[in-house]
Amino acid sequence: MTSGALARVIRSAAGRRPDAERCDLCGADVPPGHRHLLDTDREGLLCACRPCSLLFAGREAAQGRYRLVPRRRVRLPPVGTRALGVPVGLAYFVPRGDGTVTAHYPSPAGATRWEAEPQAWRDAVAHCPPLAGLEPDVEALLVNTARAAKHHWIVPVDDCFRLVAVVRREWRGLSGGGRVWPEIERFFAELTERP
């Protein structure tokens, strides 16, 4: 590396805040509230700056490895999930491009995952038609009926990842301890509808 190139790298690094989040594609700083991309191969989220997120917006980009996570949130009337095999009151369901639906529930070890029964999902959609419009892989049905809560939402999958992080961060002992449930309640209280 020439001294001029090294100087440019040092100046570039010096101008960055160490606490700033960065775009996982180009390395630019991203502001709070930035967009995310779903890496469908790894089933993980990537932070995206505005220019990079625009590269993955649109119908043709929806078929690639990286999918722009939408922002839409819709509060739903109660959705029956018992037939979907949910063993707990806190779960989310992600329809996949191949027609399957994976169900997840947050736990201290991360999200436990299983495949929902296809007919049970079709029945849930028949009783709640907005579920038919979920964008495969990047939107989910999020349900919280634990501890007498009644939350049913269509959310972007990055909200589901945030909820899993809350549970992992706050869970203590065998039953969760005294911090996890207030934080889950706060998470749902802060959800707001957006088109």
Whether residues 139 and 81 fall in one domain: yes
Reported as a single tens digit per residue, the pLDDT across 2-61 is 555 544 444 455 455 556 799 999 999 999 999 999 999 999 999 999 999 999 987 666
Q: What is the pLDDT of residue 47?
A: 97
Whether residues 56 and 81 fall in one domain: no
Whether residues 85 and 62 fall in one domain: no
Whether residues 35 and 95 fall in one domain: no
Could you tell me if residue 195 is inside a domain?
no
Of 68, 89, 107, the position where a domain reaches its end is 68
Could you tell me if residue 144 is inside a domain?
yes
- What is the average pLDDT value for the chain, to the nearest integer? 89
Distance CA 123, CA 45 (A): 30
